Amino acid sequence: MSEMLFKEGLKGPWWGLPMLIGWFVPMATIVGGYIMIGGIFVCVYSVGLLGMWVGMELSFFGAIGVLGGSSVEEVEGVQKYFIIQVFSSIFLLIGFLLVVNFYSGGWLVEFILVVGLMVKLGLFPFYFWIPSVMGVVSWVGCFVVSVVQKFNPIWILVNLMVGSYMQQVIEFSACLTGLVGCIGGIGVLQFRVLLAFSSMVHLGYMVFMSLIGWGVFLSYMGLYFCLSFSLMVSLWVCGVYSFLDLVKSNGEGEMNLFMISLYMFSFAGVPPLSGCFMKAVFLLSCWELFPIGCVILFLSSGVSLFYYSSFFLYLNLYWGSMLKWEFVKGKAGGLKVFLFFVSVLLNVAMGFGLFLFIVVV
């Protein structure tokens, strides 16, 4: 019966693809993904604060379905994420209800709303949950926590129109978040934890750019979305979870090392890679209003570049004889070669194209 339904479903263009995906992806992940994306649209297109809150919570509950896993560590990570997000949602709901009921508390209402958004985003001093959650969830969960779930809180933060005092608090918190992210990543070998600290550095950039304008924020967020998605898919397909996994004697070592180093150097802003374009847009748009913040965040990226370079040079020099440059064979060989060329296209070719666009414009 199920086989007949599957064949019937493949006949229609609308039902065939979801049923085919359902054979490889858990249904909870598919439904959670739809709810999460729908929550983003509800939040963006809402005209009131309560509508934004409802959209953000829909996206959060969808993310719980995507994050859910079978191992004990993944369940523990989901529980931590759930508790933190519920705590921040209570703060936001209280603040929104005070605003809707015309409570004239002034700075107190702004403080409650900003604290709730800072906890939800993981801004300093509420950053502690990001490495502990991303270090144990799956690669899909890492992408959702570090990229997708940042959109709604930043959208609400932009539309709050807080006073100058609270805006200075947000700027100060974004600077310290970048510093904590670069310092916390020193000596970390696991890529999921390292990407958690890297996302904290990029969160500082995105908060500053959202205060400048929505257009520059979307340009940064879009490129960061593409690079993070491609990197995490590459790490998942290649089975690389730490720097030690890059040293393999089956012919994959050198190719994986080159591919992943492109992404990490691009995140750090090395020219002419595409990540440097993100830093250039940030500098051009934020220097006049936030010169100190620009210096602090660029210093954070410099520290990140230092320990990225240290690890990759150490692997090349110490284990150079073990690394072999040859394209892998087998069932997954074609996919890994494809991901290698995607990394070159996204980081090198697109980087040159973006810089040419800046020069021409």
Phi, psi of 138 (to 5 degrees): -75, 175
Residue 115 CA, distance from chain mean position: 21
Query: What's the mean pLDDT when you consider all of the chain?
Result: 82
The per-residue pLDDT for range 294-316, each reduced to its tens digit, is 999 999 998 888 888 877 777 66
pLDDT at 326: 54
Q: Does the pTM of the predicted model rise above 0.75? A: yes
- Dmax over CA atoms of the chain, in Å, equals 69
287 vs 321: which has the higher pLDDT = 287
Q: What is the pLDDT of residue 202?
A: 94
- What secondary structure does DSSP assign to 199-267, as a single string? HHHHHHHHHHHHHH-HHHHHHHHHHHHHHHHHHHHHHHHHT--BGGGG--TTTTHHHHHHHHHHHHHHH
64-86 per-position pLDDT tens digit: 888 877 778 888 888 899 999 99
Q: Which of these ranges, 105-109, 193-197, 198-202, 258-262, has the smallest mean pLDDT? A: 105-109
**Domain range list for the chain:** 1-162, 163-361
